Structure 1
Amino acid sequence: MSSAVASALRKLLPRQLPPSLSSRPGNLYEVLARYPNDGIGRRVYQTRWGAKGIEGCYWEVTRTKLKLEGKHGKAWGVLTWKGKRVSEAEERIPGSLKYNWAEGESQTVGPYVPPTSSTSS
């Protein structure tokens, strides 16, 4: 390939994948935008739940309205917490931009050590 063609291709191709094509955890909308129908029917969870020792928790996505190429939007779903369905009717999923999300159910990551409160005598 000639250097002129190679340099032209480098200008056309992005230096990194857009968030909607990345396989890393991201905000809720970036994760949902990776899937057909904007993730409706998928199970998603906050990655911090596993770090806190919380297992078997997820939101099952029932409705989405994504905008700005999957970086923002709104999502609704049904929460299952520690294996038990918490909400009967769909509700808006909170913390969608504030935390990192991934597809699947939460699992404990490494040994969990609960925080201890130190009291001075």
Structure 2
Amino acid sequence: MSGTNVFAAFQKLLPKNLPPGLSTRSANLYQVLSRYGADGVGQRVYQTRWTGKGISDCYWTVTRTTLKKGGTHGKAWGRLVWRGKEVSPREERIRGGLKYSWKNGVSSAPTPSNTPVVP
């Protein structure tokens, strides 16, 4: 079984309402970081809206965090990689932690729809 099939089979076994620490859904930045050890330091995270806009290969590499209120609020710092190139030569504060939805990983362009292309 491939890795994707194993993950899909595993998800079917889990209850519908997972605790926030085990959820794979998007959430605010601090909720996503609190799911990992060391409060998410070293993780790659991205705003889910980037994928909807067709922006791919973009993410923040988290270098430092200060989480509060059970991991739902806090501050985070990191280095931004935008379209495959590191933009931040040194760590900077990650903005929009509560304003946008975030996920772990790297943004990817949306898949094209299955509509036929007429020449």
In the TM superposition, residue 57 of structure 1 has moved relative to its aligned partner by 0.2
> CA deviation digits over 1:53-101, x for unaligned, max 9?
0000000000000011110000000000000000111000011000000
What do you get for the CA RMSD once the two structures are aligned? 1.7
Provide TM-score, normalisation by structure 2: 0.77
User: Distance in 2 between the 1:106 and 1:79 partners?
Assistant: 12
- Matched residues, percent identical? 62
Q: The residue matched to 2:64 in structure 1 has which SS?
A: strand
Alignment partners' CA distance in 2, 1:73 and 1:20? 16
Gaps of 5+ in 2: 1-16, 114-119
Instruction: Give the Cα separation in 2 of the matches to 1:111 and 1:91.
Output: 34
Q: Which residue in the other structure is 2:80 paired with?
A: 79
Shift of 1:22: 1.6
Query: What is the TM-score normalised by the length of structure 1?
Result: 0.76
> Which residues in structure 2 correspond to 1:44-83 (within 5 Å)?
44-83=45-84
Name the counterpart of 2:14: none
Asked if 2 retains the 8 angstrom alpha-carbon contact of 1:20 and 1:70, the reply is no
Q: Which amino acid aligns with 1:106?
A: S
Give the stretch that moved more between structures: 101-110 or 71-80. 101-110
The answer for unaligned runs of 5 or more in structure 1 is 1-15, 113-121
Partner of 1:95: 96
Moved over 3 A (4+): none
Q: Would you say how many aligned residue pairs link Structure 1 and Structure 2? A: 98
The 3-state SS of whatever aligns with 1:21 is coil
1:25-51 CA distance string (max 9 Å, x none): 100000000001011001000000000
Alignment partner of 1:27 is 2:28: yes
